[in-house]
Amino acid sequence: MHDRSRHDRTHQISVIQVYCPAMHDAQDILRTVFGYDNFRPPQDEIINTLIAGDDALVLMPTGGGKSLCYQIPSLVRPGCGVVISPLIALMQDQVNAMRLLGVKASYLNSTLSAQDALEVEEALLAGKLDLLYVAPERLVQERTLALLQRAPLALFAIDEAHCVSQWGHDFRADYLKLSVLQERFPEIPRVALTATADVRTRADIVSRLELDGARQFIAGFDRPNIRYRLALKHSPKQQLLRFLRDEHPMDAGIVYCLSRRKTEDTAAWLQQEGYQALPYHAGLDAGTRAQHQRRFLREEGVIMVATIAFGMGIDKPDVRFVVHLDMPKTVESYYQETGRAGRDGEPADAWLLYGLQDVIKLRGMMAQSQGSEEHKRAEQQRLNAMLGLCEITTCRRQALLNYFGESLPEPCGNCDTCLEPVDTWDATEAARMALSAVYRTGQRFGVNHLIDLLRGAETAKIFQFSHQTLPTYGIGQALDAGQWRSVFRQLVARAYLSVDLERYGALRLEQKCRPLLRGEEIIALRRDQKVKSKTAKKTRANEALSADIDPVLWEALRDKRRQLAETQGVPPYVIFHDKTLREMCLHRPRTQVEFSRLPGVGESKLEKYAEAFLTVIGSI
């Protein structure tokens, strides 16, 4: 089969599509090796194409079963399937998983000793392997290419194919050299696979890998089991803590942060709060990264706090949530990262916090990029699309799928804007005030100063630049600072304003704002939900309390604990755990002896805190 021309293979696929004897083998392998009864469309078509010896480009959502699309053809076709993957740290787990299924699999990468690598090469040449995993930098070495030319090969599978594209969200230079496969192995079918690629990225993959004749399979992007929620960032650690405690107290999940430092700080803080949290970023040594990844994959209830260095190829099925504490750079990144939740098809959460500072930080990173101006412009457009997804007032899932060229006829009913429809308001006048303030101050100042100007604040900076004499000074006192911040953020999101990074975050007018300033356009903005008040928090907490606990006493004890914690600069649980507070409510101790019998009260805490809490209990 391997020495057929492209014309012959085209004829062959038409025969297989009529008689398809090989697909009976594929069906048997699916059932006997992998334990499934049926393929998910379009797995069967992809497998049929590769068995016939033709090339394919596969876009299938995370958890959609991409790996079967090359594993089964590798078992049906004579020879070994070569899987090109950037995931050296996961290759051993992938190979072990295959071996447990009875598949003869191995890998070649830099972790092997010279002797071990030689044994793998000999097994390949002897036709004793079904699957061989290779890193791209290893594959393109002349020695490896020469080895493969002597071996019986079934196919090449290029996993995480978006890495080949400069427009993809995880570009890898080594992938650029993979066009060598078409040059050196024109008779071996190739399949490129990825979970996320817009039209431009797909075109780049086809061009760079010389897959012009490949059949393209674009499976539905929708993951209906994932609930998408995006919220404004106001107190991120407390927001995260509330999310975990209320919804995922014992679950495994991933928390993404933009910087390495924030990753480590957040992981350490979650550990203090009693969670199994581990940091992961490229700055950690390889041994630590491997250990943390291993714990996440093999233990229950572990939270990985990571930069985008973590996650590609992670096949943990029971990740119940993916949190973004900072806004991702692109919709592709967001979709790829959230897709690591709920791979088992069970309900999962994708929860994101964002703010204008995220936009400023990301644009600053882009400005320092070494890429071409064309690349920077494309990245800017992608960032704008991500910000637009954050600010949208309609169904998130419809907007997300539309970005990838897929339509959802009806709102999904499983995102925040569907479950709690966004309240909007006529912000035309406020928007004109904001744009006028930017114009009157020469487009040289950031959000905080512009808000001070509109609200008539008497700051040193206002008087330094004589801005108290401007017509816009004090005209926006009807809105508070938070409301004005929302107006400016949404005007940036909708491209009426842009952020000038060379002027330290100064806002500039964009061409789009002209009709609005001239009174030819009206604009409705989303009304940001206010931070939940203490009363609202009490109501939620009360719902979780048993009927024999006095909610007034409960909240009073929590307030006292919070005061003590703030005074001492420690988390509240360091003072007393919730369990101890509940016991206080149930037993209402009146003396130090009674207080000492409560769980979690040792001699030191008895001495430090008994009097304060006994006073609260005695007053209610």
353 pLDDT higher than 60: yes
Q: How far does the chain reach from its first CA to its final CA, in angstroms?
A: 85
19 pLDDT higher than 50: no
Which superfamily does CATH assign the domain made up of 534-619 to? HRDC domain (1.10.150.80)
Give all strands of the β-sheet with 56-59 in edge-to-edge order.
105-108, 131-134, 80-84, 153-158, 190-194, 56-59, 215-218
Instruction: Choose between 188 and 250: higher pLDDT.
Output: 188
CA distances 427 to 84, 231, 434, 437, 512, Å, are 52, 20, 10, 15, 16
Instruction: Choose between 200 and 446: higher pLDDT.
Output: 446
Q: Which two tokens stand for residue 247?
A: 């919804």
Q: How many CB atoms lie within 10 A of CB 264?
A: 17
- Of the candidate CATH numbers 2.120.10.30, 3.30.70.260, 3.30.450.190, 1.10.10.10, the domain formed by 424-526 belongs to 1.10.10.10
Please state the length of the chain: 620
CATH class of the domain comprising 6-218: alpha beta
pLDDT at 118: 95
As a whole number of angstroms, the distance between CA 582 and CA 601 comes to 13
In terms of Cβ atoms closer than 10 Å to its own Cβ (0-12, 13-18, 19+), residue 604 is: exposed
Give the three-class secondary structure for 319.
Answer: coil
User: What's the mean pLDDT in 355-363?
Assistant: 79
57 pLDDT higher than 80: yes
DSSP assignment of 530-560, as one string?
Answer: PPPPHHHHHHHHHHHS-TTS-HHHHHHHHHH
Q: Decide: 125 and 153 in contact? Cβ < 8 Å.
A: no
Residue that the structure tokens 């004499």 belong to? 469
As a whole number of angstroms, the distance between CA 590 and CA 519 comes to 68
pLDDT at 225: 93
pLDDT at 538: 36
Which element (helix H / strand E) includes 500? strand 497-500
DSSP assignment of 239-290, as one string?
Answer: HHHHHHHHH-TT--EEEE-SSHHHHHHHHHHHHHTT-EEEEE-TTS-HHHHH
pLDDT at 439: 95
pLDDT in tens, 298-332: 777 899 999 988 887 777 878 999 999 999 988 88
pLDDT in tens, 115-140: 999 999 999 999 999 999 999 999 99
* Domain chopping of the chain, boundaries: 6-218, 226-419, 424-526, 534-619
pLDDT at 585: 92
β partners of residue 277: 303
User: What's the mean pLDDT in 158-171?
Assistant: 78
Which element (helix H / strand E) includes 166? none
In terms of Cβ atoms closer than 10 Å to its own Cβ (0-12, 13-18, 19+), residue 487 is: buried
β partners of residue 133: 83, 107
In terms of Cβ atoms closer than 10 Å to its own Cβ (0-12, 13-18, 19+), residue 148 is: buried
Instruction: Tell me: cis bond preceding 21? Omega within 30 of 0 counts.
Output: no
β partners of residue 380: none
As a whole number of angstroms, the distance between CA 57 and CA 545 comes to 54
pLDDT, the chain, mean: 85
pLDDT at 471: 95
CATH 3.40.50.300 fits 226-419, yes or no: yes
As a whole number of angstroms, the distance between CA 198 and CA 330 comes to 11
Q: What is the share, in percent, of the chain residues with pLDDT greater than 90? A: 51
pTM of the model: 0.65
281 pLDDT higher than 60: yes
Q: In three state form, how does the secondary structure of 278-294 look?
A: EEECCCCCHHHHHHHHH
38's CB contacts (< 8 A; 6+ apart) are 30
Q: Which two tokens stand for residue 445?
A: 């100042």
pLDDT in tens, 383-425: 888 888 998 888 999 999 988 888 899 999 999 999 998 888 9
CA distances 508 to 190, 386, 427, 454, Å, are 48, 20, 19, 16
pLDDT-derived band at 588, boundaries 50, 70, 90: very high
User: Which range, of 247-261, 493-507, 582-596, averages the lowest pLDDT?
Assistant: 493-507
Q: Decide: 480 and 541 in contact? Cβ < 8 Å.
A: no
Q: Which among 41, 77, 55, 46 is positioned nearest to 10, based on CA atoms?
A: 55
What does DSSP say about strands 190-194 and 56-59: parallel, antiparallel, or unpaired?
parallel
Q: 6-218 and 226-419 share one CATH topology?
A: yes
As a whole number of angstroms, the distance between CA 351 and CA 360 comes to 21
User: What's the mean pLDDT in 203-213?
Assistant: 92
Q: How many CB atoms lie within 10 A of CB 271?
A: 15
Q: Decide: 479 and 487 in contact? Cβ < 8 Å.
A: yes
Instruction: Tell me: cis bond preceding 42? Omega within 30 of 0 counts.
Output: yes
As a whole number of angstroms, the distance between CA 237 and CA 91 comes to 34
pLDDT at 479: 94
Instruction: Choose between 281 and 64: higher pLDDT.
Output: 281
535 pLDDT higher than 70: no
pLDDT at 169: 57
pLDDT at 170: 67
520 pLDDT higher than 70: yes
User: Which range, of 15-19, 101-105, 412-416, averages the lowest pLDDT?
Assistant: 15-19
